[in-house]
Amino acid sequence: MKEDYLVLLYYCYSRIEDPETFREQHHLRCLELNLKGRIIIAEEGLNGTVSGLRADCEQYMADVKADPRFADIEFKVDEVPDHCFSKLHVRVKPEIVHASLHQIDPRKRTGGYVEPEEFRQILRDQPEDTVILDVRSNYEHNVGKFKNAITLDIENFRDFPEKVKELDHLKGKKVITYCTGGIKCEKASAYLLDQGFEDVHQLHGGIIKYGLEAEGEDFEGKCYVFDNRIVKDLNTVNPTTISKCYVTGQPSDRMVNCANPHCNKHIPMSEEGANKYNGCCSEECSKHPDVRPYDGSGYYQKEMNGYNPYRGVKRKKETAE
């Protein structure tokens, strides 16, 4: 049975001469199609995750691909029962993924692509001269990662360049990087090449495409996603749970935020663990005077504060007013 809604994950490194004007036009089109999500626009390209009704998402994909700058864009498409976002944000930023690697241009140089089925075979064989490198943040790989992957102790992708110094001993090996949808690997693999790594590749389309095309085999745990689902099932061949409840230590891949807003720790926490401290990560946090009421979900929606999706749109079409 097909779900009524889709969620789209995509990026494209392609020159945008006037990001502000493009942002306004793109924002309006998303409003016309009733899409919600997060879209980042920069001179170097476009990066987004949006959700909407099937027909609206299909029209959006057709519209984006019709622009010659994004003709080669690849959408990772997932079926969902409802919107995966509460708002629409379309923003201009210096980079489409914050890496502080402005000097890196993936259009000129990046790691070669490894397709999902080829990657599946590599995971099965695990050649001694091949290293699988996770370039995501701690909270992402703590809840799910590929078998035998090397993970980095980083809070944000912008910390990646500093951590590369710890990987010098891998320069003689074949390195295959991976991330959620592929965008971080475009710059991560390029940076590795710049730092003297010679045999660098990347999983094409990231974890999400691997799940769609290779059944997620040998991905341990769940895949962290940047929408209201927080995590999604990926492996339909040999699924496992690798994360443990922060409170009880028992296996759990239920990601929540501590109910104490001043802590707000983003961690795996089972329902049993959450009930122990009313959604908090510790007894200390549970006694804070500002603790948020725990409703059983562990998800705390930010205040809408009069959110208006048209705010910041300078040129409204008559039909949109």
**pLDDT (tens digit per residue) in 238-268:** 999 999 999 999 999 999 999 999 999 999 9
Residue 180: pLDDT above 70? yes
On the 0-12 / 13-18 / 19+ scale of CB atoms within 10 A, 158 is: middle
Annotated catalytic residue, options 179, 185, 245, 285: 179
Residue ranges, comma separated, of all CATH 3.30.70.100 domains in the chain are: 5-96
Residue 235: pLDDT above 60? yes
314 — pLDDT class (breaks 50, 70, 90): low
The verdict on whether 285 is a catalytic residue reads: no
Q: Report the C-alpha gap between 154 and 163 in whole angstroms.
A: 8
Q: Dig out the tokens for 201 from the structure.
A: 């590749």
Q: Does domain 112-223 have CATH number 3.40.50.80?
A: no
Strand 5-13, strand 76-80: pairing? antiparallel
Whether pTM > 0.75 for this model: the answer is yes
Residue type, 191: Y
318 — pLDDT class (breaks 50, 70, 90): very low
Give the per-residue pLDDT at 101: 82
Q: What is 5-96's CATH number? A: 3.30.70.100
Q: Report the C-alpha gap between 281 and 266 in whole angstroms.
A: 9
321 — pLDDT class (breaks 50, 70, 90): very low
Residue ranges, comma separated, of all CATH 3.40.250.10 domains in the chain are: 112-223
Residue 303: pLDDT above 70? no
